[in-house]
């Protein structure tokens, strides 16, 4: 629901209405235009009487919102969101690159890769401490020990860290130590986890589910945003289709669709999206051309010996080439 106020509405009247609506458990997004103010309401609005709201002389009219998501959509937030994270801006016309290994394996490994990707211009260090794997016999990550190694890499390189949370048990540790909390594809609809992470006041990277629609992804985003604290960005990482030539089908059409439907920054992960290192480079450039706000790239200094997803990891040398090329592609796309 959107409440459109008259231009003559007084500040105290708007404040009184906001207090009343907040007391009913609703999340309120104020949209200020050139000549009017709108209040976007998210939550259970079934208890609200339109007739009662229209009795306020400063209320001009009321609009019902048909989308099943509210806070992630452009109707409540028409301008692109720009997130300020650890001295860096994600969205708002810039381009952000998150790079690093699929999983943290040792202090020497994560430090070497962190230094390489920073030198090439990466903004954030990504690395898995906890790894959700299809097989229970595959490497599951170092857990909290891996998180400690990421902290060491951050301290020595200055790169803020992005890593995936898998359990409510670790929310406090992630809130304390992580710069961007990643929600992986398998947890996109883990609604209790989304709610708790949304209360942390830490930026959240929400990955698209393995077989999820764009609208389902945006509804999941609202679970985080209704907590009212954590800024959010979206990540297209490929979806499961009948195609077997690639690990997943990287849906680059999702970038302009999401940009049309949502104000949130859109990151693309071509590593998981394709599953093969030689496809990462061209699809990363394609993502930049499609209007993505950034990339998440898996980089490993010895892909053949990686404990997780070495086949989709590029070397620091290829990553450096990609970083030089991506800005040229973005410049050409914006001409």
pLDDT in tens, the chain (335 residues): 889 898 888 889 889 998 989 888 888 878 777 777 888 887 778 778 888 889 888 998 888 777 788 899 988 788 999 999 999 999 999 999 999 999 999 999 999 999 999 999 999 999 999 877 667 767 667 889 999 999 999 999 999 999 999 999 999 999 999 999 999 999 999 999 999 999 999 999 999 999 999 999 999 999 999 887 899 999 999 999 999 999 999 999 999 999 999 999 999 999 999 999 999 999 999 999 999 999 999 999 999 999 988 999 999 999 999 999 999 999 998 87
The pTM is what?
0.86
**DSSP letters along 33-46, please?**
-SS-EEEEEES--T
Closest CA to 315 of 13, 105, 100, 78: 100
The residues near 178 (Cβ < 8 Å, ≥ 6 apart) are 147, 150, 161, 162, 163, 165, 202
Query: What is the radius of gyration, based on Cα positions, of the chain?
Result: 21
Measured CA to CA in angstroms, residue 261 lies from 73, 211, 295 at distances of 6, 19, 20
Which tokens in the block code for residue 251? 């849906």
- All structural domains of the chain: 2-63 (3.30.70.1140), 82-334 (3.20.20.70)
């Amino acid at each position: 629901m959107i409440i459109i106020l008259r231009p003559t509405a007084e500040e105290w009247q708007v404040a009184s209405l906001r207090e009343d609506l907040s007391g009913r458990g609703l999340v309120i997004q104020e949209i200020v235009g050139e000549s009017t103010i709108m209040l976007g309401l998210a939550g259970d609005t079934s208890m609200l009487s339109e007739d009662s709201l229209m009795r306020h002389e400063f209320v001009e009219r009321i609009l019902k919102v048909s989308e099943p998501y509210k806070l992630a959509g452009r109707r409540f937030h028409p301008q692109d969101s720009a997130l300020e994270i650890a001295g860096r801006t994600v969205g708002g016309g810039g381009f952000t690159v998150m790079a690093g290994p699929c999983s943290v394996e040792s202090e020497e490994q994560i430090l070497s890769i962190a230094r390489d990707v920073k030198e090439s211009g990466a903004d954030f260090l990504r690395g898995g401490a906890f790894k959700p794997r299809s097989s229970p016999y595959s490497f599951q990550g170092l857990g909290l020990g891996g998180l400690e190694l990421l902290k060491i890499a951050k301290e020595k390189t200055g790169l803020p860290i992005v890593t995936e949370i898998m359990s409510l048990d670790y929310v406090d540790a992630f809130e304390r130590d992580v710069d961007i909390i990643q929600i992986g594809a398998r947890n996109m609809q883990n609604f209790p986890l989304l709610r708790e992470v949304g209360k942390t006041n830490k930026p959240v990277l929400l990955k698209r589910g393995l077989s999820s629609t764009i609208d389902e992804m945006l509804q999941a985003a609202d679970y985080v945003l209704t907590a009212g604290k954590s800024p959010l960005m979206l990540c297209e990482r490929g979806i499961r289709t009948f195609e077997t030539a690639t690990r997943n089908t990287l849906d680059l059409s999702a970038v302009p669709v999401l940009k049309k439907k949502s104000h949130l920054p859109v990151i693309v992960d071509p590593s998981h999206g394709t599953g093969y290192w030689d496809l990462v480079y061209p699809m990363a450039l394609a993502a930049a051309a499609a209007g993505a706000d950034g990339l998440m790239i898996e980089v490993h200094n010895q892909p053949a010996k990686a404990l997780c997803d070495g086949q989709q990891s590029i070397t620091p040398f290829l990553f450096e080439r990609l970083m030089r090329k991506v800005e040229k592609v973005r410049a050409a796309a914006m001409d």
